[in-house]
Chain A
Amino acid sequence: MSHKIEFILNGKSVCINTNANRRLLDILREEFQLTGTKEGCSIGECGACTVLMNNKAVNSCLVLAGQVNGSEILTIEGVAKNGLHKLQENFLMAGAIQCGFCTPGVIMSSYALLLENSNPTEEEIKEAIAGNLCRCTGYKQIIKAIKDTIS
């Protein structure tokens, strides 16, 4: 059955009619062509689908349309405003990207961390991105990129 779902997506109010148990991940990719949000496992283990929901990092493969109603969603496409965000810049500078498939998810997790805590310790950084699997980089340059953003 189709439901009317209204929410704020990357700063703009949007409204769609969709099945209440459709995944947020599919809504973003299929309805809005926001393909920066990736699917790597579909069960909440890899973090490639991470977006911000009301300023908290969530796995969009586990969030259903019904839950999205009335919320505020930020995806990787909404992070850069008037040029790259500091985090994005530092990911480039630190070499925190190889294949780049995990990158949007990792950036969203770190973005959420910095919203909540502007000066996290290395442990807190690791905790924040522990749910993001990256098979390429070994995480070192990712952690550096996040640290560089704080200082």
Chain B
Amino acid sequence: MSKKFSIVGKEVIRQDGYAKVTGSAKFADDIIFTDMLFGVMVRTHVVHALIKNIDFSAIENNPALTTIITAEDIPGAKKVGPIKKDQPVFCYDKVVTSGDVLAMLVGKDESELRKLVDNVKIEYNELPVVTDPENALNDNTPLIHPENKTNLINHYPLLKGDVKKGFAESDYVIERRYTTSYQEHAYIEPETVIAYPFEGNNGIKVIGSIQNPYTARRVVSEVMGIPLADVRIEQAELGGSFGGKDDTMNILAARAAVAALKTGQPIKIKFGREESIIESYKRHPYRLNYKVGFNSDGKIKAMKIDILADGGAYASMSPFATWRTVVQATGPYEIENVETNVNAVYTNNPYTGAMRGFGSPQPIFAQESLMDEIAAELNISPLKVRTINGFKAGSITASGQKLDEHEVSFNKVLEKAGAESCFNVKWNKYRKENNKIDGNFIIKEKQKSNNFILNENQFIDPENTWRRGIGLSVSFRGCSLGAEGIDAVTAYLSLQPDGSIHLSCGLAENGQGLRTTFSIIVSEVLGIPIEDVHYLNLDTGHNSDSGPTVASRSTLMGGGAVQNASSILKERLKKVFYKYWNINKDCNLIFNSGLITYGNGNKKITFKELCSLAYNDDSNMSTLGLYAGPKVDWDEESGQGNAYFTYVYGCQVAEVSVNISTGEVYVNKVIAVHDAGTVINLLGSEGQVYGGVTQGAGFCLWEELNSEEGKIKELNFDQYLIPTCKDIDEIKPFFVEGNEKYGPWGAKSLGEPTLELTSAAIANAIFNATGVRYRNLPINLEEIILLRKLRPDNLKRGSA
């Protein structure tokens, strides 16, 4: 494949940048209507209960109140959900989690309404609270949703070969257990939505910080009982999402819509940070049990994996997120015998759903830690154990998929990362240094005591409190939705008589830079300056449903659709050119720098003139481009099939310093090598790596959120600690651009791979630094020093 481009792969400035640096970009809360009312939530005080009565009499006549919205006001579906319809828009019979909402107070003055909330009297019949997912399936555990007759959300088995035989043939068999915590998306913009009725209450318009406008449209249409075409969703500038502004936003959109049609006025719902953390879904906490059999030469013979995901009170995306887990749980390694079981269960905890990475960061943390544990057992290098087992062209995955349709770049990314980081040299050096100091002794002594204060005999030489370590991790990741869903995207392109261009697509800008990426593609195909491409924001009334903007599918799928649309119009323009110059056969035209040239350059015309000619010629200069993913297949019983049509590969190396007297971990450097296919916008791609690695480091080291008896304690950024600019020193992205037949010029996915690898690389680096294997995220101060979590009291997690 020749990869000579005029703009693709360069550093291109964001198209929406100007508005964002001047403060003029309109986020949902910046949009104000004159007769606008506000909606304020009445939330449950308990976690699990039957609702006996809701009494509004104390506030009913309050002048601040225009109306009260409850489930009774809903004309259509009272429960919604992307897969299982188990989440009420307003609870009416039962509450099942601490974020549940029973009613919404509507009025002009938001702060006055907030004062009324506590005067609503709710009577409950409390039920036992289920917080431990391990107990969710026990016979005597109360059912969260009794109509389902079980607390199981989904179970995915996968069977390849014969694990019993594999273990019997192995020289070594080890078993390890890993756990991960919730992760909050922590988009800096909290949720906001505005709904208003069209003239005469004929349908509804919603504007909001909505990640997936088409999903929001479906939910609003179901709840209102009106056709899809009567609901129009417009995306405001989105202040970060990372998978998080989906279910929650759709429900907020529905609440606002119900109130807007009831009052005939615009309704705004605006969450503060605490409300956002209480009601929105999180990343699933996982418990992962790995049993692995391997030979003394390092070859893995068999792997048995049991994974339990805490789905919380609603199914949300659990069935899809955990499906990715079952496909990728063995990592990028060819293993003959595999048995995997992944369960997602209901509890009364905050519900969990889609978050950047989507069912992959947890198994990668476990599985890539395990690879290092195997290496340690055999006393070989982490690089070696991976090279021995890694995927090559033609390898068969755990689900029986033969990898012969794309470039399997496992070795490429591993070698590049190894070389760029001088991995083996440093790994050996740090291991030796740290052994000499015997930090192990100190740490092990300390974990016995319950406090951080050292005894006299635990004196740590101040010169030796900081230990340095290096670690790596590798992954493969299926692109786009895979066997999860229908996978097709459309893009709309329209050339104007003066050569300027309208572009829009059914996928949504989530802040990741999709508008710019798509504009680059048009600019490349038509050979025009990117400034001539005017991106139209997504409005469900103007675009066709292209599925959700998830799974890092926008460049691959949306980019494919944009490329397709651009090529269609290019062909039409060629016809106009031929006619103008009286050329009667197809020939090679060059579209470059706003000029279309034939032959030695004596026949040429500017792009602008050509567009104007096309209009005079009555040509159709607008088109839809389509990109549909190739077929994939999956057998639910055996867990076998061609799960995704293509994969990406990545390897990250982390270098850390661990302070063994305070437990602090500082990330000195992360080298991130990704084969995401062709890079379309270098500036944007680097930004994805910096951001993803930083979120991955947060997941590994600092971000802790606990559900204590079903309630979250970390409700704002003073307690929920996301990385600041001081936590990570250096991040170095490298792109190895493997060949790929799908996507625009072979561009694939990048957003999620950048995050999923970091936690394992850091955990392995900490092991290299301390000789201690930490198997429970986050590896925060108490985990490092005490090898256990301090909270919650009733759930003992930790490495001790």
A interface residues with partner B (beta carbon < 8 Å):
29, 33-43, 45-46, 48, 75-77, 79-80, 84, 88, 91-93, 95, 97-104, 107, 126-127, 129-143
Give chain A residues whose Cβ lies under 8 Å from the Cβ of B11.
95
Q: Which of B238, B716, B718 sits near A99, CB closer than 8 Å?
A: B238
Residue pair B26, A35 in contact (C-beta under 8 Å): yes
Closest residue of chain B to A98, judged by CB?
B511
Q: Give 14 CB contacts A-B under 8 Å.
A: A35-B30, A36-B22, A36-B24, A40-B189, A43-B273, A45-B717, A98-B691, A99-B188, A99-B510, A101-B240, A126-B726, A138-B690, A139-B725, A143-B725
Q: Is B187 an interface residue (CB 8 A)?
A: yes
Give chain A residues whose Cβ lies under 8 Å from the Cβ of B30.
29, 35
Residue pair A98, B513 in contact (C-beta under 8 Å): yes
Q: Is B242 an interface residue (CB 8 A)?
A: yes
Min Cβ gap A117→B in Å is: 17
Give chain A residues whose Cβ lies under 8 Å from the Cβ of B511.
98-101, 136
Residue pair B728, A99 in contact (C-beta under 8 Å): no
Q: Which of B25, B241, B716 sits near A41, CB closer than 8 Å?
A: B716
Residue pair B22, A95 in contact (C-beta under 8 Å): no
Give chain B residues whose Cβ lies under 8 Å from the Cβ of A43.
273, 716-718
In chain B between 140 and 154, which residues have their CB closer than 8 angstroms to a CB of chain A? none
Q: Is B594 an interface residue (CB 8 A)?
A: no
Q: Is B683 an interface residue (CB 8 A)?
A: yes
Residue pair A103, B13 in contact (C-beta under 8 Å): no
Closest residue of chain B to A43, judged by CB?
B716
Beyond A46-B717, A91-B17, A95-B686, whether A36 also contacts B188 by CB under 8 A is no
**Contact digits for B508-526, partner A, Cβ 8 Å, 1 yes 0 no:** 0011110000000000000
Closest residue of chain B to A139, judged by CB?
B725
Min Cβ gap A143→B in Å is: 7
Give chain A residues whose Cβ lies under 8 Å from the Cβ of B13.
92-93, 95
Q: Is B502 an interface residue (CB 8 A)?
A: no
Residue pair B273, A95 in contact (C-beta under 8 Å): no
Beyond A41-B273, A41-B717, whether A101 also contacts B690 by CB under 8 A is no
Residue pair A40, B242 in contact (C-beta under 8 Å): no
CA distance A84 to B23 in the complex (A): 12
Q: Is B687 an interface residue (CB 8 A)?
A: yes
Min Cβ gap A102→B in Å is: 5
- By CB atoms of chain B within 10 A, which of A40, A76, A79 has the most? A40
CA distance A93 to B689 in the complex (A): 17
Closest residue of chain B to A137, judged by CB?
B691
Closest residue of chain A to B239, judged by CB?
A101
CA distance A127 to B687 in the complex (A): 21
Residue pair B725, A126 in contact (C-beta under 8 Å): yes
Q: Is B91 an interface residue (CB 8 A)?
A: no
In chain B between 1 and 42, which residues have their CB closer than 8 angstroms to a CB of chain A? 11, 13-14, 16-27, 29-30, 32
CA distance A137 to B723 in the complex (A): 11
Q: Is B724 an interface residue (CB 8 A)?
A: yes
Residue pair B728, A133 in contact (C-beta under 8 Å): no
Residue pair A92, B188 in contact (C-beta under 8 Å): no
CA distance A127 to B13 in the complex (A): 27
Residue pair B273, A42 in contact (C-beta under 8 Å): yes
Min Cβ gap B109→A in Å is: 12
Closest residue of chain B to A26, judged by CB?
B111
Give chain A residues whose Cβ lies under 8 Å from the Cβ of B190.
39-40
Residue pair B693, A138 in contact (C-beta under 8 Å): yes
In chain B between 167 and 198, which residues have their CB closer than 8 angstroms to a CB of chain A? 185-190
How many residues on the B side are at the interface (Cβ–Cβ under 8 A)? Answer: 57
Beyond A84-B22, A130-B726, whether A137 also contacts B687 by CB under 8 A is yes
Min Cβ gap B25→A in Å is: 6
Q: Is B731 an interface residue (CB 8 A)?
A: yes
Closest residue of chain B to A45, judged by CB?
B717
Residue pair A75, B717 in contact (C-beta under 8 Å): no
Residue pair B690, A140 in contact (C-beta under 8 Å): yes
Give chain B residues whose Cβ lies under 8 Å from the Cβ of A127.
726
| Majority secondary structure of chain B interface residues (helix, strand, loop or mixed) | loop
Beyond A135-B722, A136-B240, whether A77 also contacts B273 by CB under 8 A is no
Residue pair B186, A135 in contact (C-beta under 8 Å): yes
CA distance A107 to B23 in the complex (A): 10
Q: Is B421 an interface residue (CB 8 A)?
A: no
CA distance A10 to B350 in the complex (A): 44
Min Cβ gap B552→A in Å is: 15
Q: Is B250 an interface residue (CB 8 A)?
A: no
CA distance A76 to B25 in the complex (A): 12
Give chain A residues whose Cβ lies under 8 Å from the Cβ of B340.
none
Residue pair A97, B23 in contact (C-beta under 8 Å): no
CA distance A139 to B727 in the complex (A): 10
Give chain A residues whose Cβ lies under 8 Å from the Cβ of B24.
36, 77
Q: Is B695 an interface residue (CB 8 A)?
A: yes
- Known pairs A38-B189, A99-B189 / 6 extra A-B pairs, C-beta < 8 Å: A46-B273, A48-B188, A97-B17, A98-B687, A100-B19, A138-B687
Residue pair B14, A92 in contact (C-beta under 8 Å): yes
Residue pair A45, B18 in contact (C-beta under 8 Å): no
- By CB atoms of chain A within 10 A, which of B18, B27, B691 has the most? B691
Beyond A84-B22, A88-B22, A99-B510, whether A135 also contacts B687 by CB under 8 A is no
Give chain A residues whose Cβ lies under 8 Å from the Cβ of B14.
92, 95, 97
CA distance A45 to B687 in the complex (A): 23
Closest residue of chain A to B241, judged by CB?
A99
Give chain A residues whose Cβ lies under 8 Å from the Cβ of B693.
138
Min Cβ gap A59→B in Å is: 12
Give chain B residues whose Cβ lies under 8 Å from the Cβ of A126.
725-726
Q: Which of A33, A38, A41, A143 sits near B27, CB closer than 8 Å?
A: A38
Residue pair B29, A104 in contact (C-beta under 8 Å): no
**Contact digits for B681-708, partner A, Cβ 8 Å, 1 yes 0 no:** 0011011011111110000000000000
Q: Which of A37, A99, A129, A142 sits near B239, CB closer than 8 Å?
A: A99
In chain B between 503 and 547, which residues have their CB closer than 8 angstroms to a CB of chain A? 510-513
Closest residue of chain A to B509, judged by CB?
A99
Residue pair A37, B21 in contact (C-beta under 8 Å): no
Min Cβ gap A99→B in Å is: 3
Beyond A92-B21, A141-B690, whether A39 also contacts B716 by CB under 8 A is no
Residue pair A34, B717 in contact (C-beta under 8 Å): no
Residue pair A137, B690 in contact (C-beta under 8 Å): yes
Closest residue of chain B to A103, judged by CB?
B20
In chain B between 719 and 735, which residues have their CB closer than 8 angstroms to a CB of chain A? 722-726, 728, 731
Residue pair A129, B273 in contact (C-beta under 8 Å): no
Beyond A99-B240, A100-B511, whether A80 also contacts B22 by CB under 8 A is yes
